[in-house]
Structure 1
Amino acid sequence: MLASLGQAEMPTIGSFIDAWAQGHAEAPAPRKRIRTRETLSIAIATVLARRGYHELRVAEIVELAQVSQAAFYDYFRDRHSAAAEVLTAFLDHLYPTPCIGSGSADQTLTDLFARWLAFCHANAGLVLAVAQLSDRSPDFARLAERRKREWFAAVIESLSRRFPRAAADLAGVEGSERTLALVASGLAQQVARHADKIQPDDIRTFAALIARVWVFAFDYTDPPMLRAVARPRSAFG
């Protein structure tokens, strides 16, 4: 699968599929069977990005990969398992270990979320495919939700180390972590859904908006606005 981008790095702002295909071309696996599986996986990702999970068809995958349908079923049980494997790999890059900068909380969060939203924008089709597969597969939904929760928890933990007093205040607000994650993930979904209308300046504006809400939560011990929207939830949304 696509090589890791590193534990301390946000994803490269660009196409996950293009980076994967480039790596596959420049450093092909030594065994033909592994190369064929990776070729199929890249084709699966490409069709998912173009059509979404609901319109994923084996015929289109094998045509793009230039292999037979028999070859596809030699590697994957069905289109569902193929989509799940590829989108699981994508999650590793959608939710990598966050890198928290050394500036102010506002600047640090704006930069972090700008890179994350830009990655979501560049890979909008796959972001939406994650949501579609989550609706159809409880197992994948739990995996995707866990990865998302872990990522936002890591962001908050990193901020807590930088701003320990603010973190102590935040801990006293019921449901605050879930609320903060809901704000960010909700905007990420909108960026993906309306990718064709989103401009680079819009992404920076959205990132600044997320940062402002998060900083608001960290700067005030008892913010009425946050208390009003912070309700216990079973998921980040």
Structure 2
Amino acid sequence: MRIMGKTALVTGGTDGIGLEVARQLKQRGAIVAVCGRDAGRLASAKDAGFQAIEADLSTQAGCDRVVDELSGVPLDILVNNAGTSGPSDLLGDFDLEQTDRAIFLNLNAPMHLIAAFLPAMRERPEAAIVNVTSGLAIAPRGAGPVYCATKAGLRSFTQTLRYQLRNTRITVTEALPPVVETRMTEQNRHKKMSAPDCAAAIVKAIETGQEQAYIGATKLLRAVSEVSPALARRIMIKY
């Protein structure tokens, strides 16, 4: 896909990986809308030339707001990037309200936005849907039960969506980042990839029409999983 002149929406695009993806798409000549919840970061995004939409995608109302704001916009690229970790300790603090919000943000919101924008995207000369999952969609980490479950679910959804759109002009890409330096991973002790480097791999996947973008250390995880899924699970569960 030639990004110049395309119109894109990046969810969670005011911070972390999403902000870097938005910046790099804009640098290539795209018109970019981003959405988020923090007023300060939204103001900064607007100052940087993005259409900034205040919306909480962990709710139906937030998804509806994004769709309403972009009503009539000829969307060419949809990057479902927004995500949250959700509860980690199921024995100590299994917060079901937080769990439900994480499930909606990580899994339901991408489905809702795809359902809303898909009819118009099918009319575009070419279009791209990018769902950002995780290496943890391949094999879960013990400290991230809700996050891993939602990313595995999004991975499955992406694969079936790609199959159903196989005879259309829409490319469906799954991007699988490793641990990336963001606010969400501040407490993670493992080596992290920079957000700009991760974003560059995602944007390259859009440009080249990749169906799956294994980024950084997830390339190794993929290789291990293909040889021995059980070994990949044993390694990652303690990660």
Q: Name the TM-score, length of structure 2 as normaliser.
A: 0.34
| Structure with greater proportional strand content | 2
- Quick check: which one's helix share is greater? 1
The answer to which structure, 1 or 2, has the higher relative contact order (CA under 8 A, 6+ apart) is 1
Q: Compare CA radii of gyration and give the structure with the larger one.
A: 1
- Taking structure 1 as the reference length, the TM-score comes to 0.34
